[in-house]
């Protein structure tokens, strides 16, 4: 089968999607490490933890929203990678 321009566009899109997925996974791992560090810091300072959470409540809600949104985008990207691989296999 002759490979046209669309095949190469699919290949480029697949490479970009894989890089994006890797960056999202890396960012989510950093967030988990940050949470573990916070837990260790506030383990003995329960009152300071409560005060910090109360003061930064809007920021913490926004951060949680961003993390949830990133997880949804990562899941969508992984499905996108599966579909792109299937489409590329159809060309071969």
Query: What are 12-69's pLDDT values in tens digits?
Result: 999 999 999 999 999 999 999 999 999 999 998 889 999 999 999 999 999 999 999 9
**Contacts with 90 (C-beta within 8 Å, 6 or more apart), sequence order:** none
CA distances from 4 to 17, 28, 40, 90 (A): 21, 37, 55, 13
**Contacts with 31 (C-beta within 8 Å, 6 or more apart), sequence order:** 67
Would you say 80 and 10 are in contact if contact means Cβ atoms under 8 Å apart? Answer: no
């Amino acid at each position: 089968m002759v490979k046209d321009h669309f095949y190469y566009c699919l290949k480029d899109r697949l490479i970009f999607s894989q890089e994006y997925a890797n960056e999202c996974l890396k960012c989510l791992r950093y967030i988990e490490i940050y949470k573990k560090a916070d837990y260790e810091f506030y383990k003995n300072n329960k009152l300071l933890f409560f005060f910090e959470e109360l003061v930064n409540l809007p920021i913490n809600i926004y951060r949680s929203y961003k993390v949830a949104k990133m997880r949804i985008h990562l899941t969508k990207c992984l499905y996108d990678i599966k579909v792109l691989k299937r489409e590329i296999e159809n060309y071969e």
